[in-house]
Amino acid sequence: MKRTKKAGPNYDRYGWIFISAAFLLYLIFTIYPAVESLMLAFQSLEGGEYIFVGLKNFKRMFGDAIFLQSLKNTFLYMVLQVPVMLIMALVIAVMLNSSFLKFKGFFRTSIFLPCVTSLVAYSILFKMMFSLDGIINQALMHLGILDAPYQFLQNSGWARAVIVIAMLWRWTGYNVIFYLSALQNIPKETFEAAKVDGANAVQTFFRVTVPQLKPIVLLTAIMSTNGTLQLFDETMNITQGGPANSTLTVSHYIYNQSFVYAPNFGYASAISYMVVFIMIILAIIQFSVAGKEG
């Protein structure tokens, strides 16, 4: 009795004290920079000093051919890569979850392994694989498909394809883990009921498994969309945005505006906020689509 009485008021206070350190760091390292960069988005560096320019940075974006190209590229990656990756991840997760599979631990580890590689390291690896004397060209020549090595990274279509393939390899396993854990939370009874009702494997998958995975599908879809919008390491290391800006992403362009070209942090911040805005719109769409069906 005594304890609960005492714990009552202090409970809250202790709680606040415990989270205060983390919250303070969050304020300093996340909220403060976010607010500062929002201010920066309305400023421009001219003659060594920041001056307020209103919406000029935002207006500039709509006439900036390279920005629009980078936006187009980013959406292309998203449309090509995210659905393919999520479907693959779902199929692999269901396979890994099946009761007859032996060496589950081994397969699960293997599938997840790409996720622990560094983004830079794996990007360089893919660049090497698709280079002139890389393993892909060697294999295709041995098989007689190619007569001479092909410069995959110098063709805009292929360069994009290489980026998408690299991302599929890197991120599919990551999503598999989400689906696996969600699958294990689906009550067994629902599968048994489906079996009793005479549903085949395909029917069970679409009518029983997928609907119950919906929240997690939504989560992975949002995460993947965000991840794609922030794509940087892959294009930076594999193609440097080339050929002819055909693989340049928005994040890469933000980097160029800040550090490669004459520094324009204001414009770079404005583009960053444009990306945030796009993410919010996409998240709202995804939530509302999911909401309707359920």
Partner 1 sequence: MKRKMAAMAMTAALVLGTLAGCGKTENAQPETKEEETVADDASGEAAEETETAKEPQSGEEKTITIWAWDDNFNVAVMKEAANVYAQSNPDANVNVDVVSLSKEDVYVKLQTALAGGGSGLPDIVLLEDYVSGKYLNTFPGSFADLTEKFDFSQFLSFKVDAVTQDGKTYAVPFDTGATALYYRLDLVEQAGYTEEDMQDLTWDEFIEIGKTVTEKTGVQMIVEIANNKTTLVRAMMQSCGLWYFDKDGNINIKDNEALKSAFDIIVRMKEAGILYEAESTEGRAGALNNGTVVSVVNAPWFISSIRQAEDQSGLWRAARIPRIAELDSSINASNVGGSSWYVLEKSEVKDEAIAFLQGVWEGNTDFYDTIMLNQGAMGSYIPGYDTGVYDEEDEFFGGQKLNGLFAEILPDVIPVNFGGYVAEANDAITTALANLFEGKVTIDEALEQAEAQLANQLGR
Helices and strands, counts by H and E, the chain? 14, 2
Residue from 138, 199, 205, 243 in contact with partner 1 (CB under 8 A) = 243
- Residue 23, interface with partner 1 (CB under 8 A)? no
Min CB(179)–partner 1 separation in Å? 17
Q: Which of 60, 75, 96, 273 binds partner 1 (CB under 8 A)?
A: 60
Interface residue with partner 1, options 8, 9, 63, 187 (CB under 8 A): 63
27 binds partner 1 (CB under 8 A): no
The whole-angstrom separation of Cα 224 and Cα 254 is 20
Window 141-180: contact mask with partner 1 (x via CB under 8 A): ----------x-xxxx------------------------
Q: How many residues bind partner 1 (CB under 8 A)?
A: 49
Is residue 149 within 8 Å of residue 156, measured between CB atoms? no
Distance CA 256, CA 261 (A): 6
Using the minimum distance from each CB to partner 1, give the nearer residue, 30 or 110.
30
* Closest to partner 1 by CB, 89 or 267: 267
CA distance 51 to 91: 53
Smallest separation (angstroms) from partner 1 to the CB of 87: 21
Please say which residue, 167 or 194, places its beta carbon nearer to partner 1. 167
Q: Kindly state whether residue 278 participates in binding partner 1, applying the rule CB under 8 A.
A: no
Question: Would you tell me how many other CB atoms lie within 10 Å of the CB of residue 254?
Answer: 24
Asked if 291 contacts 215 with a C-beta cutoff of 8 angstroms, the reply is: no
Span near partner 1 by CB under 8 A; candidates 140-148, 180-188, 197-205, 232-240: 232-240
Cis omega (within 30 of 0) on the bond before 243?
yes
Q: Could you tell me which residues come within 8 angstroms of residue 122 by beta carbon, excluding any fewer than 6 positions away? A: 114, 166, 169, 170
